[in-house]
């Protein structure tokens, strides 16, 4: 069965999002595109939220999010309870944020990383599993407790 991945970007990440969607479609992934749909200026939170909700709702296993730097859309994504989004531009972090942080969203900057590096970052993220149990689980649980204690 093909793996469902949620995609979102603003104008700054639009081109890289399209490149990575094509790259993953070729490998048999089901890429669910939550926009944006052009290079016209837009606001990354508007697209991050539906993509992250697809992850939280279980329709997609993770989200790949893109803006100019990857930073703004990661900040927006991390406002949703249960989303652990990481902005990466090195493959070690892209791997470790899955292995140690159980990240469910990877954020990339279309003005920061080229197509080739972005492919490697996505490969590292999608091929790594969370190291279940022990110290890492305890830390993730503490993050969830912070979210649970927060007043609306």
The catalytic residue among 62, 67, 86, 88 is: 67
Site for ligand RB5 in 5-24 (CB under 6 A): 10, 12
Q: Do the beta carbons of residue 1 and residue 29 sit within 8 Å?
A: no
Site for ligand RB5 in 39-68 (CB under 6 A): 44, 67-68
| Residue closer to ligand RB5, measured from CB, 29 or 109 | 109
Give yes or no for residue 72 binding ligand RB5 (CB under 6 A): yes
Would you call 130 helix, strand, or coil by DSSP? coil
Residues whose CB is less than 8 angstroms from the CB of residue 67 and which lie 6 or more positions away in sequence, other chains included: 9, 10, 12, 13, 44, 73, 107, 109, 110
Q: Do the beta carbons of residue 30 and residue 3 sit within 8 Å?
A: yes
For residue 67, indicate whether it is catalytic. Answer: yes
Q: Which parts of this chain interact with ligand RB5 (CB under 6 A)?
A: 10, 12, 44, 67-69, 71-72
Active site residues: 67, 100
């Amino acid at each position: 069965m093909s793996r469902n991945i949620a995609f979102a970007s603003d104008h700054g990440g639009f081109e890289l999002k399209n490149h990575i969607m094509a790259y993953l479609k070729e490998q048999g992934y089901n890429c669910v595109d939550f926009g944006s749909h052009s290079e016209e200026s837009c606001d990354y939170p508007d697209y991050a939220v539906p993509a992250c909700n697809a992850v939280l709702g279980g329709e997609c296993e993770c989200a790949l999010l893109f803006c100019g730097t990857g930073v703004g859309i990661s900040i927006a994504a991390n406002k949703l309870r249960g989303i652990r989004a990481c902005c990466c531009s090195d493959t070690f972090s892209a791997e470790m944020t899955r292995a140690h942080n159980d990240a469910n969203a990877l954020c990339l900057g279309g003005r920061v990383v080229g197509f080739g590096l972005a492919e490697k970052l996505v490969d590292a993220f999608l091929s790594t599993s969370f190291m279940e149990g022990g110290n890492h689980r305890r830390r993730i649980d503490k993050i969830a407790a912070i979210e649970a204690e927060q007043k609306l």
